[in-house]
Structure 1
Amino acid sequence: MVGYNIKNSSELASYINYTNLNNMITEGEMREFLEKAKELNFNSVVVSPTYVSLAKEVLDETDIKIGSVVGFPLGFEDGETKKAEAIALVESGADEIEMVLNLSHLKDEKYSLIEDEIKQIKEAIGDKTLKVIIETKALEDYEKANAAKAAEIAGADYVKTSTGFMTPNHIYENVNDINIFQKHAPKIKIEIFGGINDYKNANQIITAGADKLGSDQGYEIVKRYKDLRENTQVTPKPITLTKKD
């Protein structure tokens, strides 16, 4: 696999949605997380509904988008409840909504119900970004294909692979998911979450075709890359171009 050529740490950060959905985090700890996001200027942060307003306050003068979750992490709420959650998040300042797919409907192949739920939420949030989390680790390949296809038909902007509670064991699982999405839902964008813990993994996933990467280790990934590629000064030893006698 030929690697994608990331030019610098800023470009790497622009692919990453820096995530913190810890349900026991304090306000002070969340402020520290948001300051780290500002330092490296990630594409977005993903935080719990509790902290959307705080993120809006702290990141107000940046280009960092604010994402939050609906029906998280199991997705079994009814569509009206998810829609109400999504509307409330947008009113609080969220730019991106990540809704968890109802896996019971998917297992029963009730695609019309899935499409209707996604369509209603997308219509309710207008021009804000809608991502559909489908928890690929729990699914067969044909189910992944049908979930992505339903999300595309219903007008979602992204399909996302994981809530973080179930993650792939190997990068090739992520690559397999990307291949399935590109074949069966070619118009929808792809976000990979899980199994990405260093620059090498991130680079491989981008090379494979992901549009964005979700990671709770985003700061560490970009900081290590920056230290390696931009903060390391190496003074080469002098050499001569002629053979010594």
Structure 2
Amino acid sequence: MVGYNIKNSKELASCINYTNLNNMITEDEMREFLEKAKELNFNSVVISPTYVPLAKEILGETNINIGSVVGFPLGFEDSDSKKAEAITLIENGADEIEVVLNLSHLKDEKYSLIENEIKQIRDAIGDRILKVIVETKALEDYEKANAAKAAEKAGADYVKTATGFMTPNHIFENVNDINIFQKHAPKIKIETFGGINDYKTANQVLTGGADKIGSDLGYEIVKRYKDLRENTQVTPKPITLTKKD
């Protein structure tokens, strides 16, 4: 397998959706988080609906997308409620919507209900990015495959592996999930979340086929990479190319 070739810290940040879904975060703490996102220019931030207007205020003139969540973290709300949540988020300035799949419908193999719900949200948010969180840690492989197929068929842009509320996946589990999604829903993009705490793991997941990484440690991952690869300058000693007498 050929390694994913990250050229610099800017490219690494462009692969990461910097996440903070802490339900007890203060406004000052969220401002600090958003300023960190602005500093490193991540692909997007993923935040609670509460702070979408604030993110629009702080990040509005950047190219960082603002993402937020619908039916989070359990996904068992009715479809009309999820649709209404998504519409409100878009009105408040969100660019990306992450909707949690109804796992009860998945366990009962009610794929038409899953597809209909995703399609309703797809139609409601227009050309904004739509992601479907499938919580792979709770699923058998065949269920992951069917979830991804339903999301792709209904027009979602991404399938995402986790909410972050379960034990994080191991790197091998993440790669297994990516392989399943690629095989059974080859047109949908893939975002992994959970268990990605450093540049090495991020690189492994990208090498495995992920399109984006969701991480609440995005700032630390990029800063460590930047310090290692770009901020460590060594001045070489002068040398001559001929042998001294």
Instruction: State the TM-score bracket (shorter-chain normalisation).
Output: over 0.9
Per the TM alignment, residue 243 of structure 1 is displaced from its structure 2 partner at its CA by 8.2
Give 3-state SS (helix, strand or coil) of 2:222's partner.
helix
Identity of aligned residues (%): 87
Per the TM alignment, residue 166 of structure 1 is displaced from its structure 2 partner at its CA by 1.6
Letter in structure 1 aligned against 2:88: A
Is residue 2:207 matched to residue 1:207? Answer: yes
**Structure 2 unaligned spans of 5+:** none
1:167/1:193 contact within 8 Å kept: no
1:168/1:174 contact within 8 Å kept: no
Is residue 2:231 matched to residue 1:231? Answer: yes
After TM superposition, the runs of 4+ consecutive aligned structure 1 residues lying more than 2 A away are 235-245
Per the TM alignment, residue 3 of structure 1 is displaced from its structure 2 partner at its CA by 1.5
Tell me the number of residue pairs that the alignment of Structure 1 and Structure 2 aligns: 245
1:3/1:203 contact within 8 Å kept: yes
- Partner Cα distance (1:241, 1:172) in 2: 48
**Structure 1 unaligned spans of 5+:** none
2:15/2:211 contact within 8 Å kept: yes
TM-score between the two structures when normalised by the length of structure 1: 0.97
Give 3-state SS (helix, strand or coil) of 1:94's partner.
coil
**Counterpart of 1:172?**
172
- Partner Cα distance (2:108, 2:47) in 1: 31
1:190-205 to structure 2, matched below 5 A, reads: 190-205=190-205
Letter in structure 2 aligned against 1:149: K
- Partner Cα distance (2:208, 2:240) in 1: 42
Letter in structure 2 aligned against 1:137: K
1:162-181 deviation line (CA, Å, top 9, x unaligned) = 00012444201000000000
Letter in structure 2 aligned against 1:21: L
**Counterpart of 1:109?**
109
**Counterpart of 2:94?**
94
2:66/2:93 contact within 8 Å kept: yes
Letter in structure 2 aligned against 1:35: E
**Counterpart of 1:183?**
183
Letter in structure 2 aligned against 1:81: S
Give 3-state SS (helix, strand or coil) of 2:123's partner.
helix
Is residue 2:80 matched to residue 1:80? Answer: yes
Letter in structure 2 aligned against 1:225: Y
Give 3-state SS (helix, strand or coil) of 1:37's partner.
helix
**Counterpart of 1:130?**
130
Letter in structure 1 aligned against 2:81: T
2:17/2:42 contact within 8 Å kept: yes
RMSD: 1.4
2:122/2:130 contact within 8 Å kept: yes
1:48-77 deviation line (CA, Å, top 9, x unaligned) = 000000000000110000000000000000
2:137/2:169 contact within 8 Å kept: no
Per the TM alignment, residue 19 of structure 1 is displaced from its structure 2 partner at its CA by 0.3
Is residue 2:22 matched to residue 1:4? Answer: no
Per the TM alignment, residue 197 of structure 1 is displaced from its structure 2 partner at its CA by 0.5
Give 3-state SS (helix, strand or coil) of 2:130's partner.
strand
Give 3-state SS (helix, strand or coil) of 1:186's partner.
coil
Is residue 2:181 matched to residue 1:158? Answer: no
2:49/2:68 contact within 8 Å kept: yes
